[in-house]
Amino acid sequence: MKGLDEKPPVLLEWMLSRIGYFENKYSVAGDFEEIYLEIFRDKGKIHAVSWYISQVMKTIPLLLFNYIYWSTAMFKNQIKIALRNIIRHKSYSLINIMGLSIGLVCSLLIMLYINYEYSFDKFHINHNRIYRVLTEMNIVYQDKTVVNGTPNVIVEVLKNDYPEIEYAAKVYNDPDSDLLKIGNREFNEDGFYFVDPDFFKIFSYPLVDGDPELSLGEPFTILITKEIAKKYFGDENPVGKVLNLNNRYDLKVTGVLEERPENTHLKADIITSFKTYEKIRGDRYSITWDSFNYSSYFLLREGADIQAVENKLQEFAPTKFEDVVKKAVSNFFFQPITEIHFYNDAFMEFETGADKKNVYLFMVAALLILLIACFNYMNLSTARAVTRAKEVGVRKVIGAKRFQLVKQFFGESFIFVLFALIVSLAAARFILPVFNSYISRDIRFSLLSDYTLLLILAGLIIMIAVVSGLYPAFYLSRIRPVKIIRRIVGRDSKSYSVFRNSLVVIQFTISVTLIICSIITFNQLQFIKNMDLGFSRDHIINIQADNSVEKYDVIRDKLSVYPDILEIASSDQTLTGISNAQLGDWDGKSEDERLVIYAIEVDKYFFGLYNIEFTEGGSDLENYLEDGVKRFILNETAVEAMGIENPVGKNFGATGDDQNGIIAGVVKDFNYAPLHMKIAPLYIDLSSSNRWISIKISGERVSETISFLETVWKDIYPKTKFEYRFLDDDLNRMYKSEQRLLKSFNYFTAIAVFIACLGLFGLASFTVERKTKEIGIRKALGASIPTVLLMLIRNFINLVMLGTVISFPLGYFLMSRWLEDFAYKVNIGIATFLFAGTLAALVAVMTISYRVISAARSNPANSLRYE
């Protein structure tokens, strides 16, 4: 017969077999083939095939319906079982949910933090087209080779000669605070910004009232935010009113700004026209290529090529530099505004930006903590295999496929994670304000309103559920019903216990590594704090003065009579804040030699007050200012760098300042910069400059002394505010970021150790549960409590110790890399590791013992009656 050997296409048969959940699949396929053949004979292959396909396709809706129907039924059952399990094993559930919640809280906060850091300056409508001009230097300035400062003229050049640029504006932030006053309301204000008229065309700081273009084009105009307006004017409308600046200039308020967003590097709350600045400081700051004081921003035209503009400027600008400038300045480059927050390499930056390292550190820490929590879940769920085995067995006997069981256990881990999520969302809300003050940011709780965050959160949840559910799901679903009947599930096969044990080891490796990091960070900070800096640091107060020689003399006289004031000296910068540097020039300097040398101006009392020792010269400081010859004092490093023999009496000069004089002495090196850096060359210029006054007090009756200081101060400097700083505090402030790091480490360590111990506690509980009988028998046969304890604890302690040992090289490696940043660093001693290890072991033993001791002490009669 024709077509007897004709067969339906294999693909279609396969499709049929996939959808076949019908009872007699095999026979159904036979029926299909028979009909297929019949149609084939009658009408040909095409009809037969299309019939086959249409039949298969038409079955799909039915199939879907059935699938959904049965899986919801199953799902309900699984949820019910999961909830029952959570409720029945309360301590187990608590440990899991608590661990996961803590891990999630950390992650949530850090997600918010990272999101916030990356949101900086993105509120400007044109943030994609706003750029800043930076200056690359040939010399190092405070560890930096880039200045957030450009010549005055560059804005004019950009605006007039470059058609690609729409608007450009200078911005100058006064580094000192200024006194603003109306009537009897006066405050020192820090955020003074002098800007060009285009400022508001580039940036999107919304205005409540006033005309920015008009006001920024005029001198002596000022715009303030609502908040500041309230401070001075209460509820009155400030526009048109006059504020007094530093008791000298009257500024007309021409506009009120909306409250400024916190996430910007330009924290401009008080905006004054640049013309005002020119009037105040005089004409010498106007059109020139060789001062680098002003930041320049511009708005690129849409579609313009930033690189081309940059190249053009880089070719043009150097032709304008004078020879002196050429030595110090290399060129200009552009930086997108959105990158500024993460950029910490510029001198004269407006804000201390974020450190990407910190962001990554936080991220890694959060992930590690999450990982530890996931491990807890994995370990505890598989440790409970004995209890779950019966359920799995029954399900399997009834006909559950392995895949269905896997799904069930995944579902369970999902439910746990969801619980944890709810707990952690609530907790994160409460903790956020604390977290904010800790990292000094203003982060809003935007988790559920921010689309991207929500997506990331969902991804995170799925990831946690899968990671923590993976192992239990496959382990538990593997159990064979036969094994359950033969009661051999409790006895783990080797590979499983190895896997579980290694999870514990990893948890403690992470925890102990964190402990080591904390300890070493702490040690390093202590080391820095106690290091001999080469000058005295106790009981010294610095006060900002106004650089007037007459007043300084008066105040010296008045203060020195007070018994608790020991010494008084003046300088142009604080000793810990030396930020001026020049190019040095000396006898015997070769043409291409170049030495960046830091500079400070002090009076003759300075050395005595700070106990700075002379190694050469310095005996007749009294007479130095008399004869009109400039005299410089160098530190040892400077002498060494210049390579001068017998320096006293030789010529020395600073090119930037155009000063020449002779070397009058050499002082011993002292650490005036943070200890990340080696001591750099420094010259001390004897002068009468007194922007800062240092006062050494006896250290007794401190508050009385300070109030005395204040009265005298008000008398002599009625117009400047009395603000004082202790040198000690200034020194500590230098290591703020390290201190913050230490604090972060401490928190992360505490959390990690806590979660790891939670897991250990859970595992110990299960061991005790499982070995109740064994303990009873041992005790009945005469084992002592310590023996039983040891038996129960030994395995755990071994794991903890193993983790500790692994963490030693890890911690050493990480911390020696961190310490590389310091020029002066503490030795990483063996004691640190021993301490960390002992600490971890102690905490672990205490955790386990808490659960185990009661079991070891229990009466064997009770435990043997168990069952």
CB of 22 to another protein, least distance (A): 5
CB of 12 to another protein, least distance (A): 12
- Which residue stretch of 20-28, 230-238, 248-256, 824-832 sits at the interface with another protein (rule: CB under 8 A)? 20-28
> Residue 26 or residue 451: which is nearer to another protein going by CB?
26
> Residue 35 or residue 566: which is nearer to another protein going by CB?
35
Identity of the amino acid at 859: N
Among 9, 12, 15, 35, binds another protein (CB under 8 A): 35
> Residue 2 or residue 817: which is nearer to another protein going by CB?
2
Among 12, 15, 33, 501, binds another protein (CB under 8 A): 33
- Which residue stretch of 57-65, 410-418, 727-735, 823-831 sits at the interface with another protein (rule: CB under 8 A)? 57-65
- The residue assigned the tokens 């003399």 is 553
Taken as a whole, the chain contains a residue count of 867
Q: Is 260:268 a contact under the CB 8 Å cutoff?
A: yes
Instruction: Tell whether residue 24 is a contact of another protein (CB under 8 A).
Output: yes
CB of 3 to another protein, least distance (A): 10
Instruction: Tell whether residue 32 is a contact of another protein (CB under 8 A).
Output: yes
- The DSSP secondary-structure symbol of 241 reads -
**Binding positions for another protein, 364-393, rule CB under 8 A:** none
Instruction: Tell whether residue 7 is a contact of another protein (CB under 8 A).
Output: yes
> Residue 9 or residue 661: which is nearer to another protein going by CB?
9
- The DSSP secondary-structure symbol of 150 reads B
CB of 402 to another protein, least distance (A): 24
**Binding positions for another protein, 744-763, rule CB under 8 A:** none
Q: What is the dihedral of CA 175, 637, 290, 587, to 10 degrees?
A: 150
- The DSSP secondary-structure symbol of 5 reads T
Outline where 531-657 has alpha helix (H): 549-560, 606-610, 636-642
How far, in Å, CA of 186 to CA of 231, rounded? 9
> 90 phi and psi, to 5 degrees?
-65, -45
- Which residue stretch of 60-68, 262-270, 432-440, 591-599 sits at the interface with another protein (rule: CB under 8 A)? 60-68
Annotate 272-315 with DSSP letters as a single string. Answer: EEHHHHHHHH-GGGSS-SS---BEEEEEEPTT--HHHHHHHHHH
How many residues contact another protein, by CB under 8 A?
25
- Any residues with CB less than 8 A from the CB of 610 and at least 6 apart, and which? 535, 536, 540, 569, 575, 670, 694
Instruction: Tell whether residue 820 is a contact of another protein (CB under 8 A).
Output: no
**Binding positions for another protein, 65-124, rule CB under 8 A:** 66
- For residue 375, the surrounding DSSP H or E stretch is helix 356-383
Token couple for 460: 């995170």
> Residue 63 or residue 425: which is nearer to another protein going by CB?
63
Characterise 205 by phi-psi region: left (phi > 0), alpha (psi -120 to 50), beta (else).
beta
> Residue 22 or residue 316: which is nearer to another protein going by CB?
22
Q: 500: how many CB neighbours lie within 10 A of its CB?
A: 21
CB of 7 to another protein, least distance (A): 7
> Residue 63 or residue 361: which is nearer to another protein going by CB?
63
CB of 13 to another protein, least distance (A): 9
> Residue 43 or residue 678: which is nearer to another protein going by CB?
43
Among 29, 648, 777, 806, binds another protein (CB under 8 A): 29
How far, in Å, CA of 348 to CA of 286, rounded? 20
How far, in Å, CA of 30 to CA of 24, rounded? 10
How far, in Å, CA of 733 to CA of 723, rounded? 17
> 270 phi and psi, to 5 degrees?
-125, 115
Among 27, 50, 72, 698, binds another protein (CB under 8 A): 27
CB of 58 to another protein, least distance (A): 4
> Residue 60 or residue 549: which is nearer to another protein going by CB?
60
- Which residue stretch of 25-33, 381-389, 462-470, 558-566 sits at the interface with another protein (rule: CB under 8 A)? 25-33
Token couple for 162: 């470059």
> Residue 29 or residue 81: which is nearer to another protein going by CB?
29
Identity of the amino acid at 336: P
Helix, strand, coil in percent for the chain, rounding step 5: 55, 15, 30
Among 12, 19, 427, 805, binds another protein (CB under 8 A): 19
CB of 55 to another protein, least distance (A): 5
Instruction: Tell whether residue 58 is a contact of another protein (CB under 8 A).
Output: yes
> Residue 3 or residue 643: which is nearer to another protein going by CB?
3
Annotate 772-802 with DSSP letters as a single string. Answer: HHHHHHHHHTT--HHHHHHHHHHHHHHHHHH
Instruction: Tell whether residue 55 is a contact of another protein (CB under 8 A).
Output: yes
Q: How, if at all, do strands 596-602 and 580-586 pair?
A: antiparallel
CB of 39 to another protein, least distance (A): 11
CB of 36 to another protein, least distance (A): 10
Residue 284 burial (10 A CB sphere; 0-12, 13-18, 19+): exposed
> Residue 61 or residue 303: which is nearer to another protein going by CB?
61
- Which residue stretch of 58-66, 161-169, 474-482, 598-606 sits at the interface with another protein (rule: CB under 8 A)? 58-66
Among residues 245, 238, 268, which one has the least CA distance to residue 186?
245
CB of 44 to another protein, least distance (A): 18
Among 12, 37, 845, 853, binds another protein (CB under 8 A): 37
> Residue 24 or residue 859: which is nearer to another protein going by CB?
24
> Residue 65 or residue 316: which is nearer to another protein going by CB?
65
How far, in Å, CA of 739 to CA of 726, rounded? 18
> Residue 5 or residue 592: which is nearer to another protein going by CB?
5
Among 18, 31, 305, 798, binds another protein (CB under 8 A): 31
Among 2, 11, 23, 532, binds another protein (CB under 8 A): 23
How far, in Å, CA of 173 to CA of 151, rounded? 15
244 bridge partner residues: 181, 250
Dihedral sign, Cα of residue 370, residue 376, residue 377, residue 379: positive
727 bridge partner residues: none
Among 12, 15, 49, 63, binds another protein (CB under 8 A): 63
- The residue assigned the tokens 């069952």 is 867
Instruction: Tell whether residue 53 is a contact of another protein (CB under 8 A).
Output: no
Dihedral sign, Cα of residue 532, residue 534, residue 540, residue 543: negative
> Residue 44 or residue 175: which is nearer to another protein going by CB?
44
How far, in Å, CA of 106 to CA of 473, rounded? 26
Among 9, 12, 15, 28, binds another protein (CB under 8 A): 28
Instruction: Tell whether residue 34 is a contact of another protein (CB under 8 A).
Output: yes
Instruction: Tell whether residue 62 is a contact of another protein (CB under 8 A).
Output: yes
Token couple for 155: 């804005």
Q: 211: how many CB neighbours lie within 10 A of its CB?
A: 14
Instruction: Tell whether residue 525 is a contact of another protein (CB under 8 A).
Output: no
CB of 43 to another protein, least distance (A): 14
> 644 phi and psi, to 5 degrees?
-95, 135
Outline where 545-643 has alpha helix (H): 549-560, 606-610, 636-642
Among 17, 18, 30, 704, binds another protein (CB under 8 A): 30
Among 2, 14, 26, 494, binds another protein (CB under 8 A): 26
- Which residue stretch of 54-62, 312-320, 333-341, 755-763 sits at the interface with another protein (rule: CB under 8 A)? 54-62
Q: Which residues bind another protein (CB under 8 A)?
A: 4, 7, 19, 22-24, 26-35, 37-38, 55-56, 58-59, 62-63, 66
